[in-house]
Chain A
C-alpha cells in the first residue's frame, strides 16, 4: 500500500467538556477522493477543520506525507486548499478572488494570471472575471470559491459541504465540473457531506461518521451494501449499490454489465453511452418469486436467478440478502417469506423494473482507489 497522503491518529476534539470528535485512525491515499458522510452535527466540519490545521485537536495528531504535523502549520496550510459551504469571497473582483490564495502564497504575477484564467475557464466563469464578487449568484460564487481552491493546485483539497447551499440543477452542474477537474488533476480530496448521493458520485471511498466517530470506511458499494451497524444503515438507507459498466444504450434503456449479469436501466444519463456507473436499487423495489416458476409476462425488465444468502427479520419486514451474481437486497413482508418459505440457500428469481434502477456515473480517476 502506498503511503497515505494525509491522515489522523487518535484525534480528539472536545469543546466545553463535550466530545465533538474522536477518530482513532483515518487515512487518505494520494489521488484518492474520500467522502465523509454523516448527519448534521456528527463532527464532519470539525474533522475538516482539524485536517486543514485550522483547529488544534485536544489530543492526537495530523499526519501529512506520513509525518506528524507539529509546527510550521503555515507551510502545511500552503500545500492544501479548503472550500467551505459558504463561498466566503473577498470584496473584490472575481479574478482577484481566484488569484487571492496564489498571491498569499507568493506565486509570481504572470504565473498567477495564467492559472486564474485557466481555472476561470474550467469552471465556466471566465465571463465574470471583472465582476465584483458581491454581485454574484450563489452558484456563481461557489464556482469562484472552487476555482480559487483549485487554482492553488493543492496537494490536498478539503471541502466542507461545498454544494449544500445550492439548488439542484446548479448543484449537479457544479458536481460534474468538479468531478472532471478532480479526475484530471489527481488531487487528493477529503470532502464531507450529509448527502449520500454526493458521496456516491465523487467518493472513491466513503467514511460514515456519526456522533463524532467514524463508524465505517470502505468503497461505496461495500459500505452501502453492508452497513456496519444499524445507525449506519439507518443513515445511508439500505440499498443495493454495485459497480457496473454501461455496454449499450437503446431508446433510453441502458444495458449495464454487473459482474457478468445484464441489468437494464431506464437511464436518465444524457449523452452517456458507455462507461463506469454505480447501479443503485432500493430493496423495496425488488420482487422475489420461486425459481421454478415459468417466466410470467410482467413489465419487469430484469429477472435474475439468485440464491438467498441471509434472511434478516426486522419488525414486520424482512431483509433478504441475495447473491444474483452480485450482492442484491430485497425487502419483503413476513407473510411473503412464509409463503415462499425462504431460507439461506433457497433459489429464487429476483425481479425489478428498469425504472427502479438508478445509475450514478463514475469517472475513472488517475489513481485507482485502495481498500
Chain B
C-alpha cells in the first residue's frame, strides 16, 4: 500500500517538476492514441453509415465480425502488424517498423472494430426515416451525414471514448511494433512494463497514475461535450 502512495507522490512530482522525459512519453501516448482514434473514427463512421443506412445483404455477418473484433487481442494485432511491416513483409518498403506511425497503425486496427460496432448501434438508434427527412429538407450527402452524426452524438461519443480507451491502454501491440525505444516510441504503457520488469515499482506506479489521469482528462472532455446539451 505504501508503494502505491509513494508511486502517486512520485507521479505528482514528475508532473509538477516538469520532467521532460515523462512529458515526452505522455504527449507521445496522447498523440499516437488520438491519431489512432481519429483514423478509427473516419473508417468506423463510413462503415457504420453504410451498414446502418443502406442495410446491405450480409449485414448480420459483418456486424458479428465487427463485434468479435471488439475483443481483438492487442498482442495478436501487434504480431500481425509487425509481420506486415517487417523489411521483408508486404509493407516493408515503408520502413515504419519501430516508429510512432507503426503504433498508430496497430492501435487504429484495435480501435476500429470497437468504434465501428458501437457506431452502427448508435446510428441504428435514430428513427429509420430521419435520414429521408434530412435529405428531403435539402441536405447534401455530407450535410445529411453531419446532421445524423450530430443526432446520434451521445452514443457516438461513447464509441469514441471506448475506442480511445482501448488504444491508449493497450501495451502488447505497442511493444511489438514500436519496440519501446527511449525518446522515440516509448509510451506510458510500454514504459510502465519496462519499469516493472526492472523492479522499479515506484516509477511504474507513477506512470500508471499519470496514464489514468490522462485517460480521465480526455474522457472528461468528451463527457462534457456529450452531456452539455442534455442538461438544458
Contacts and interface: CB of A to CB of B under 8 A. Distances in A.
Interface string B121-139: 0000001011011011111
A77 B229 contact: no
Contact of B130 (A81, A88, A104, A158): A88
B194 interface: no
Interface string A103-142: 0110000000000000000000000000010000000000
A88 B133 contact: yes
Contact of B132 (A54, A80, A132, A152): A54
Contacts of B135: 54, 77
Contacts, number: 50
B232 interface: yes
B223 interface: no
Contacts of A77: 135-136, 138
Given A77-B136, A90-B151, A152-B138, 18 more contacts: A49-B132, A52-B132, A52-B136, A54-B136, A77-B138, A81-B137, A82-B133, A84-B129, A84-B133, A86-B129, A88-B127, A88-B129, A88-B130, A91-B229, A100-B137, A100-B147, A104-B147, A158-B136
Nearest to A107: B138
| Cβ-closest 10 pairs across A and B | A82-B136, A101-B137, A88-B133, A78-B138, A105-B138, A104-B138, A104-B139, A54-B132, A88-B130, A104-B137
B143 interface: yes
Interface of B: 127, 129-130, 132-133, 135-140, 143, 147, 150-151, 229, 232
Q: How large is the interface on A (under 10, 10 to 19, 20 to 34, 35 or more residues)?
A: 20 to 34
A297 interface: no
A365 to B, nearest CB: 24
Q: By DSSP majority rule, is chain A's interface helix, strand, loop, or mixed?
A: mixed
Contacts of A101: 137-138
A347 interface: no
Contacts of B140: 74, 104
